[in-house]
Structure formats: C-alpha cells, structure tokens
Amino acid sequence: MTARHTKALIIGSGPAGYTAAIYAARAMLKPVLIAGMEQGGQLMITTDVENYPGFADPIQGPFLMEQMLNQAVHVGAEIVNDIVTEVELSRRPFTVRTDSGAVWTADTLIIATGAKAKWLGIESEQHFQGFGVSACATCDGFFYRNKDVIVVGGGNSAVEEALYLSNIAKSVTVVHRRDSFRSEKILQERLFAKENINVLWNTEVAEITGTPAKPPMPPSVSGVKLRDTRSGAITEMPIDGVFVAIGHAPAVELFKGKLKMKPNGYLWTAPDSTATDVEGVFAAGDVTDDVFRQAITAAGMGCMAALEAERYLTAVETRREAAE
C-alpha cells in the first residue's frame, strides 16, 4: 500500500488530540488525526461536565467531544477512524502503520493517546460507572455536596482525592486493602487531621450496590459491600458515591523503547514544552500529564503541541533554505 504523507500526524482523539488538530489545521498544516479504538477518550464515559469553560450549564462528556470533533473537521482536519499499530521514529519522515494496513508518513507527530484510570475490576463497578462510581474527584466531586462518599486506594492519588472531597462531601471514608498508606507523609498528616475523613484499613470493595436503571431514571449507587482482607468477613455500608483512586495507566505501549519516559511510565517532555526527546515528536494530554489529568489542561497541551509542531516545521524549512 502506498504511504500517504502529512506535515502533522496526530494519534489520539481526546481533548488534546482534537485541540491539536484544530490549531494545526488553522496553521494550514492539513493535519491528519487517527482516532484510535476509543474515539473521544475518557470523557466518553463521563456524564455531567461542569468544569469545562464556556458552558454555563452542565454538559454531557460525549457531547463535548462531539463538538470538538466537529470543530476540528470544520477548520480542515482530516479524521481517520483507525488504530495505530506501529510507529517508526528512528528516521524522517516518521512512519505510522495502522490496523487497516494503511501507512502514513509525517514530518511531525503529536502523541495524544491519553491514559486510562485503573479500575477495581468488579462487575458492579462497570454498571455504575458515571452514575455514582468515578475515577476523578476534581471532575465529579461537586455532585456529592454534603453527601457520604468513599475513596478506594492508598497512594498519593487516593489521599489527594480524599482531601479534595473532604471540602465538599459530608463524610469521606478511605478504603485501603493494607494497614498503611503508600502516600507521602505530609499528605497523610493532612488527611488524619481532617475530622470528616475516616480510614478503613485492611478492607476492599467486594461489590457496589444500588438501584438499577429504570428509564428515564439512570442507575444510582446506594452502598457498598466491604470485605476484610484478613478474615474475609463481609460488611455493608450505605454510601452515595464511590471514587476509585488506584492509579492511571498511560497509553504508551507503542512508544516503549522509542521515546524517553518518566519513572512512572508517562511520556517525558521538556520543561514548559510538549517536545519529547525525539525532535519533531510532541506529546500532549494524559499520556504525559501525570499531575492534573483534566480535559482543560489536555486541551491546552494540544494547543501547545500544534504550535510547537508548526514552529519546528518553520525552523526546518528555514534551515533547508539557508543550506540551499
């Protein structure tokens, strides 16, 4: 199959990818965005979004992503519904192969493959995702004002989520399967100082209970069944919301051994930049952001990546003209 060439190839279709496509298209780079298996990213499983600027009323995550997609197409980006299976970054132009057998070459590459929250892996969790079960307190905590919630986990993420929720919810219970936290000591001290935070040690969530969907009413969480990790005993606890905070896994499989990574597995980028350690390759959004992981910050990084790609291409052209 004959390879198709583009100045800017974008891998991933979340807020970072779509924003990069919008900016690259407006810079007349004629970008191509390969959407991937889960077009729209994590927002596709998010219900009400209240913290994305520009919308006075809550909007649905899938609607927001549809609008970003339409905007990218409107300004001239080409969207390809395919899955990248291989990337070659050792020579220019870069080469990308997809599941359909297509081959693309690109002068610049913007990686926006995102990350996935790690889940508990129990059946009931999937049933209530977006309807009482969340992996993002910053995104969904607002909906649990003066309610009772649990946070599952024992690392920095879990403690930070619990601290954040303690300022919103009536009570926060941290459920941890071990007898001590892995989080930083200063975070633990802040958590233990909070009067409305309780910790259940040596405990794991066995099942999430609630009311099934009854159209037009969606499902809702009403409690959890907890298992003692030492005795196996099961207890029940009424609860309004469950926040799973056992980490995130960035989608970096394609780039292992080809791009520099941070110690925690996220793609490395230069300070105050989206540039990776390979010239002409940029990373934006949750695939590199292990701190904020918000739609708005991902979109901002997508903007940065497109601007940096355009400047890189201009610099390369200037060097070529000077050489000639």
pLDDT, tens digit (0-9, with 9 covering 90-100), for 190-219? 999 999 999 999 999 999 999 998 899 999
Nearest-angstrom CA–CA distance, 160 and 130: 20
CB 105 within 8 Å of CB 281 = no
The candidate with the shortest Cα–Cα distance to 203, out of 226, 182, 231, 223, is: 226
Residue 5 CA to residue 309 CA, distance in Å, equals 16
238-278 pLDDT per residue, tens: 999 999 999 889 999 999 999 999 999 999 999 999 999 99
Note the pLDDT of residue 45: 73
Task: Identify which of 246, 247, 20, 31 has the alpha carbon closest to the alpha carbon of residue 113.
Answer: 20
Strands (E), the chain: 4-11, 32-34, 48-49, 59-60, 78-80, 84-88, 94-98, 103-111, 115-117, 133-134, 148-152, 171-175, 197-200, 203-211, 220-228, 234-238, 241-244, 248-250, 281-283
Contact 79, 73 (CB under 8 A): yes
On the question of pLDDT at 1 being above 80, the answer is no
Q: Which of 140, 240, 286, 290 is catalytic?
A: 140
Active site residue 240: no
> Which residue in the list 82, 107, 136, 289 is annotated as catalytic?
136
Residue 7's closest CA among 92, 98, 126, 86? 92
301 φ, ψ to 5°?
-70, -35
Query: According to the model, what pLDDT value does residue 247 have?
Result: 87
Pairwise CA distance, residues 223 & 133, whole Å: 11
pLDDT of residue 95: 98
Task: Name the residue among 259, 262, 253 with its Cα closest to residue 282.
Answer: 259
The model's pTM is 0.81
Average pLDDT over residues 144-173: 96
Band (43; pLDDT cuts 50, 70, 90): confident
Q: Exposed/middle/buried for 96, CB within 10 Å: 0-12, 13-18, 19+?
A: buried
Q: Is 303 a catalytic residue?
A: no
Checking if the pLDDT of 98 tops 80, the result is yes
What's the pLDDT band for 34 if we cut at 50, 70, 90? very high
pLDDT, mean of residues 293-308: 96
pLDDT of 116 = 87
Identify the DSSP state of 300.
Answer: H
Q: Does the active-site annotation cover 82?
A: no
